[in-house]
């Protein structure tokens, strides 16, 4: 089964930047969709970015212009570059995957355990 392991979380000052990484293993296919979701405890999880195996990506309106998703297929690693971070409640970011192109589905089957991101004033 697909395994996802996030890293790079931590604390940052408001307006700062942070890069998250996700190590992917257990998938043997050639087509896939990878993404990032985020969630505040007690609230709905939101998918903020998705990327196809060919590199095409989409960003949610809530973070468009500030976040960028990318991947290194050879190293099987997914990245989320976050800029202009806002002071808010602690958020947990999750790496996600499904063995279907992003354009052919809208639900992720696999999720990592997540990493915490805290932005201070």
Greatest extent of the chain over all pairs of C-alpha atoms, in Å: 44
Tell me how crowded residue 5 is: count the other CB atoms within 10 A of its CB: 14
Report d(CA 108, CA 102) in Å as an integer: 9
- CA distances from residue 37 to 30, 47, 96, 116, 121 in whole angstroms, order as listed: 23, 4, 7, 12, 23
**CA-based nearest residue to 71, from 55, 58, 83, 82:** 55
DSSP one-letter code for 56 = -
DSSP one-letter code for 81 = E
Looking at every residue in the chain, the average pLDDT score rounds to 93
Q: What is the pLDDT of residues 22-61, one digit of tens each?
A: 999 987 777 889 999 999 989 999 999 999 999 999 999 9
**pLDDT greater at residue 80 or residue 107:** 80
């Amino acid at each position: 089964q697909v395994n996802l392991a996030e890293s790079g979380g931590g604390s940052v000052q408001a307006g700062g930047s942070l890069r998250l990484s996700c190590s992917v293993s257990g998938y043997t296919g050639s087509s896939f969709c990878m993404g990032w979701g985020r969630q505040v405890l007690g609230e709905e999880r939101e998918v903020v970015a998705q990327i196809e195996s060919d590199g095409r990506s989409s960003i949610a309106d809530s973070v468009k212009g500030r976040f960028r998703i990318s991947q290194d297929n050879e190293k099987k690693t997914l990245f989320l570059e976050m800029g202009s971070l806002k002071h808010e409640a602690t958020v947990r970011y999750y790496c996600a995957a499904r063995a279907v192109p992003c354009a052919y589905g809208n639900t992720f089957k696999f999720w990592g355990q997540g990493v915490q991101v805290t932005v201070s004033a």
